[in-house]
């Protein structure tokens, strides 16, 4: 699909959170005809209107769209599809997801006449928008689940290009691969693993008698330095910028903390993701009103490192200017 075709593609973005807003703005700036579908009176309706979009109820917004991007939270997508999208999507439209969970695990079975694709920028919505605005882009991955028209891949690539992905890198994947690796990364490393590692390090130092403030700086504050180096040039760049003492400690102590037993438990996490156990448990938790989720979330917020962190960050004037 050439760039000359862009204005002829009518896109409806359903949802206007972090990703939804970034997608809608980038696509519009790339020349696409974009409508936003939202629940009337919802919390993001005014924001989308202030950004200059035509905002319609979802059923109306998707009725004449060539491509509908579903950018709502995972756990509401099944009901949204069954109650609103399936009855109102026009024949032969393209249904696009930014995460494959509902389709891969069979909670959504798309109509057979639809093209079904996935486009996932590898970054949060604010970054997707910011990089686009300065003339760059965030890498995107894409996949085709159902190609009824014979044009599904071209539609996915055009959408990824409209987000700015072609300025960086676009990689083809599958719904299975995207879903399972995304869930694993979040749970074992990026969110679950990192949070638990930081909390355990803080507790170890404080329990040994060290000041909580010093512990905070060592195991949480300075983590940004290391992550930035990882981001810029991988482990090699990190090793170039830390001291020889830190490197030696990395070599001898890293494998003591993250040993074969940790990797074995990571494999257990991956197995639960692959066989659907995690998704079934998450769906059951959501359907029950999130009782455990809310307790676990509050426990993280109440952890001593959070109290210390709030006090120390209040004195970091550069953070206040960034968050203003």
Catalytic residue chosen out of the listed positions 99, 145, 221, 303: 99
Q: How far apart are CA 174 and CA 170, in angstroms?
A: 13
The band of 4, judged by pLDDT with boundaries at 50, 70 and 90, is very low
Q: Is the pTM of this model over 0.95?
A: no
Residues in contact with 156: Cβ distance below 8 Å, sequence separation at least 6, in sequence order = 96, 117, 118, 119, 142, 143, 144
With cut-offs at 50, 70 and 90, classify the pLDDT of residue 322.
low
Q: Is 163 exposed, middle or buried (0-12, 13-18, 19+ CB in 10 A)?
A: buried
pLDDT band at 1 (very low <50, low <70, confident <90, very high): very low
Q: Terminal CA-to-CA distance of the chain, rounded, Å?
A: 41
Mean pLDDT of 30-35: 97
Tokens of 288: 């029950």
**In this predicted structure, what is the pLDDT of residue 42?**
86
Q: Which CATH number fits domain 10-173: 3.40.50.720, 3.30.420.10, 3.40.50.1980, 1.10.3720.10?
A: 3.40.50.720
253 marked among binding-site residues: no
Q: Where are the domains of the chain?
A: 10-173, 190-258+290-321
d(CA 35, CA 23): 11
Q: What is the pLDDT of residues 42-73, one digit of tens each?
A: 889 999 999 999 999 999 999 999 999 999 99
pLDDT at residue 2 is higher than 80: no
Nearest-angstrom CA–CA distance, 295 and 305: 17
Confidence of residue 5 (pLDDT cuts 50, 70, 90): very low
Note the pLDDT of residue 318: 84
Percentage of the chain lying above the pLDDT 70 cut: 97
CA 99 vs. chain centroid, Å, equals 8
Residue 319 confidence class, pLDDT cut points 50, 70, 90: confident
Nearest to 165 by CA among 205, 103, 218, 118: 118
Mind listing the pLDDT tens digit for each residue in 143-197?
Answer: 999 999 999 999 999 999 999 999 999 999 999 999 999 999 999 999 999 999 9
218 is in an annotated binding site: yes
The answer to whether the beta carbons of residues 156 and 118 sit under 8 Å apart is yes
Mean pLDDT over residues 98-118, rounded? 98
Q: Widest CA span of the chain, in angstroms?
A: 67
Residue partners of 161: CB distance under 8 A and separation at least 6 = 3, 30, 170
Measured over the CA atoms of residue 79, residue 292, residue 194 and residue 270, the dihedral's sign is negative
Give the integer Cα–Cα distance in Å for 152 and 115. Answer: 6
- Please confirm, yes or no, whether 99 is among the known catalytic residues: yes
Sheet containing strand 67-70, edge to edge, reads 54-56, 33-37, 10-14, 67-70, 94-97, 115-121, 140-146, 170-172
Cβ-contact 27, 162 below 8 angstroms = yes
Mean pLDDT of 93-120: 98
Determine if residue 125 is labeled as part of a ligand binding site.
Answer: yes
217 is in an annotated binding site: no
Is 177 flagged in the annotation as binding?
A: no
């Amino acid at each position: 699909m050439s760039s000359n075709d862009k204005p002829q593609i009518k896109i409806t973005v359903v949802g206007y959170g972090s990703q939804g807003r970034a997608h809608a703005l980038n696509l519009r700036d790339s020349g696409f005809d974009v409508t936003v579908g939202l629940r009337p009176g919802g919390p993001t309706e005014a924001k989308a209107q202030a950004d200059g979009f035509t905002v319609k109820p979802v059923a109306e917004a998707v009725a004449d769209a060539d491509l509908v991007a579903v950018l709502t939270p995972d756990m509401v997508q099944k009901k949204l599809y069954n109650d609103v999208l399936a009855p109102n999507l026009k024949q032969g439209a393209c249904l696009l997801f930014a995460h494959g969970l509902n389709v891969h695990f069979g909670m959504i079975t798309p109509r057979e006449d639809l093209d079904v694709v996935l486009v996932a920028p590898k970054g949060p919505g604010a970054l997707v928008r910011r990089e686009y605005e300065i003339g760059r882009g965030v890498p995107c991955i894409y996949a085709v689940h159902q190609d009824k028209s014979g044009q599904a891949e071209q539609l996915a690539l055009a959408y990824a290009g409209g987000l700015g992905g072609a300025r960086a890198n676009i990689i083809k994947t599958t719904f299975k691969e995207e879903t399972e690796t995304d869930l694993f990364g979040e749970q074992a490393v990026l969110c679950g693993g990192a949070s638990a590692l930081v909390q355990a390090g803080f507790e170890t130092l404080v329990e040994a008698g060290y000041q909580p403030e010093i512990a905070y700086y060592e195991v949480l504050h300075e983590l940004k330095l290391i992550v930035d180096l990882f981001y810029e040039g991988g482990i090699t760049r990190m090793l170039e910028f830390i001291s020889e003492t830190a490197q030696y400690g990395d070599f001898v102590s890293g494998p003591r903390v993250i040993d074969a037993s940790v990797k074995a438990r990571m494999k257990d996490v991956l197995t639960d993701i692959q066989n659907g156990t995690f998704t079934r448990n998450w769906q059951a938790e959501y359907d029950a009103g999130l009782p455990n989720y809310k307790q676990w979330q509050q426990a993280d917020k109440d952890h001593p490192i959070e109290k210390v962190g709030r006090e120390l960050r209040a004195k970091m004037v550069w953070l206040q200017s960034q968050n203003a």
